[in-house]
Each structure stands twice: as structure tokens, then as C-alpha cells.
Amino acid sequence: MYDKSNQTNVNNDNNINDLNKDPGKGFGVPEGYFESFNSRLMARIQMEEELKAYPNLSALEKKNCFEVPENYFETRNFVQAALNAEDEKEAVVVRLSAYIRKYGLSIAAMLIIVLGTAIYFKAYNKTEVKVTDCAELACLSKEDITSSRYFEQISIDELETVASTTMLDSIGTQMNKEILDEIMADPDAMNITDEDLGI
Amino acid sequence: MAELNDEEILKLFSVESTRESAFSMLVNKYQRKLYWHIRKMVIDHDDTDDVLQNTFIKTWKGLDGFKNESALFTWLYRIATNEALTFLRKKQKENTQSIHPIEYQLSKSLESDNYFKGDQIQLKLQQAILSLPEKQRIVFNLRYYEEMPYEEMSLVLDTSVGALKASYHHAAKKVEEFLLAN
């Protein structure tokens, strides 16, 4: 009995010796676990020390109160989403506001030039009608009409629109004189009787 | 199959035939960490899902150009943080009829969130965190919940360690005051 128990003790001693030789036998740890243990421990102590200054905050249990839908990480396929996104051609969106911000000054300057030019031409640059190029009455100036040799062919209405009464009087006087001169220059004219004239 | 380290994943990704499986390994390795990082910022699960998807799409598109200047892990965190911030700003801009900042709306939505299982005091803590300015909120979450060392955080947020320490202490002080006042 004694011997047997003694034997068991010997076996236990052997196991302890084995454990001391390779205590992690059969277990694995993440790569670099022991190497980084010291720095991780110090970081943790530093964290605790930092929180000491805030008793209410440090008294709270540090836990994650947010949840995710069941099997979210197992079923959500971010890889496929990334692949799909690569296939899709990105739509080119022209943002007007950004465009204006970038080229605002140029656009404003261009508008001012265009508007200025339009106003200038409308207000100051009237098209001159060259009288010599136009044979119609509407294009003639008053001076041209009054000095025209064909003045007598113009109707009274047309004359009234283009000439003042005073001018017409002077024109009439001039016409009478011209007719009288023509009569005087014509030798046959002197032979006209009162009958010819209908008097 | 044993989990590959980042270097091995990147090596596989550079080969056309193993590209997809390497990316799949990367997603499996980081999706949970990134999910919780984003979730703490945007609060809602569906929004988190959108932001996480965008994060992985950007990762897929940009992984070719990834240079080993920083760890893959910090690079992924940086993308996720930027995506979450962009999302929150966009949401704020879209919600023009509300006069309240986005943090207030998130705080309110938390009360009716089906996926939030915290008690009253945990709800108060989340509301306190949501009352923090954007940068302080990120720093507080990374430090308090994820226990990220300042040196790593510095690489993710591109901010000096000193500034991050100051930011965390300001944030913790505000949270403490909020808890006392409420």
C-alpha cells in the first residue's frame, strides 16, 4: 500500500518536472505573446492610472453595450461588395456649385464682357444708311429730297411727311421761277394765246 | 488554417491568382475591430454597415498602392475613421431641417436603438461621449474602449502623442462632469 502510494508520488513528481520543462505542452499562444506581454501589461497599468483621476468614469463597468444582428459577421460578404464596386463604373457627377466656385471669376468676367459689348452695340453703334446705296424714298434725307430734280413727281402726302411748310414755300417759289425761266427761254412760248392757256 | 500575418496577406494580395483570397483573409481578420471602431462613431448599425463596406471598398482599391511605411492595421483604421467622419458630415448636411448638431441626433436615436442593450448608466456614458467634440470623441473611444496605445493612435490620427494625451484627458474630464451633472 505504502509502496503503491509512494509510486504515485514519484509519478506526480515526474509530471511536475515535465511541466516545468515545457509547461505549455499541448497548448498554443498567439505569436509573440510572451515577448509583448510586458509592454501590454505596462500599457494596461498606465490606462488604469489615467482613469484614477476620474472616479465616476473608472467606477463604471467597461463593456460594449452595442449589439449586431445575429450572424452579421458570418453572413456579411464585404469581399463581394468590394468586387462589385470595382466592376461598376463610377458615374461622373458634375457639381455645378463646385464648377462655379472654381471658375467663378472667369465666368463673371466673361459675362461682363459679353453684356458690355451687347449694350455698347445697342446704345452707341447705330447703323448708318448710305444714301447713295439706296434708291428708295425712305432712305433719302430731307436735303436729298428737296434738291432732287424729280421733286415734282413726289406726292403731296409724301412731301408733307418729309418737309416743313416753310421749306415747301421756298421750294414753290423756286419752282415758279424755274417754270417762268423755261417759258421765257422757249421762243414758241411767247406765241401762246390766252385760249391756249384756257383763260 | 492558422491566421496569416499582415505581411503574408499583402504578399498574397500582390499575386493575381491569390488576390481575392488574400483580401478575404484581411476582411476576416479586421472586420470586427473596424466595425466596433466605426459603430462607436456613427452609433447606428445600418450606418456602420454602410461605412464599413465603403472602408473595405477603399481598401480593395488602394491596397495595391499601400506602402509598408505604416502598419496595415493603422492604415485600415485611418480609412475607417475618415469614412466615418465623412459619413457624419454628409448626414449633418442632409439633415438641414434640424437645428441640432448630428451628435445630439445620434444621442437621441440611441434611446430607441434596438441594438443598444445598455442600462441607464451606460446610456448616460454614451450620451456623455457623444457630447464631446469630434476629435476628442475618437480619441476617447480608441483609448477607453479599444485601449489603443498613444503611439499607435498617433499614426492613425496623424497627431502627436502629447496632443493625444491632452485630448484624452480633456475628454475624460468632460465625461466625468457630464456623469456628475446627470
> What are A114-166's pLDDT values in tens digits?
999 888 888 876 655 555 555 555 666 666 666 665 556 667 776 666 655 56
Residue A196 has pLDDT above 60, yes or no: yes
B142 vs A135: which has the higher pLDDT: B142
Task: Report pLDDT digits (tens) over A68-99.
Answer: 888 888 888 888 888 887 777 555 566 677 66
ipTM field: 0.79
Confidence of residue A3 (pLDDT cuts 50, 70, 90): very low
Chain B positions touching A67 (Cβ under 8 A) are: 115-117
Burial of A99 (0-12, 13-18, 19+ CB in 10 A): exposed
Nearest to B115 among A53, A67, A79 (CB): A67
Residue A106 has pLDDT above 70, yes or no: yes
Residue B56, pLDDT score: 94
Residue contact A81–B53, C-beta within 8 A: yes
CA distances for B88 relative to A111, B44, B85, B93, B141, angstroms: 38, 11, 5, 9, 16
Tell me the C-alpha distance between A191 and A103, whole Å.
92
Task: Report pLDDT digits (tens) over B94-105.
Answer: 876 667 777 777
Do residues A15 and A22 touch, judged by C-beta distance below 8 A? no
Residue A2, pLDDT score: 44
User: What residues contact B76, with CB distance under 8 A and at least 6 apart?
Assistant: B30, B34, B55, B59
Q: Chain A to chain B, count of Cβ pairs less than 8 Å apart?
A: 90
Chain B positions touching A33 (Cβ under 8 A) are: none
Residue contact A63–B122, C-beta within 8 A: yes
Residue of B nearest to A54 (CA): B176
Tell me the C-alpha distance between B130 and B140, whole Å.
10
Ordered alpha helix ranges (H), chain A: 2-21, 33-52, 55-59, 72-75, 78-87, 96-123, 142-146, 156-162, 165-185, 194-197
User: What residues contact B165, with CB distance under 8 A and at least 6 apart?
Assistant: B150
* DSSP label at residue A17: H
Do residues B31 and A69 touch, judged by C-beta distance below 8 A? no
Residue A137, pLDDT score: 54
Length of chain B as a residue count: 182
Share of chain B above pLDDT 90, in %: 54
pTM (global) more than 0.80: no
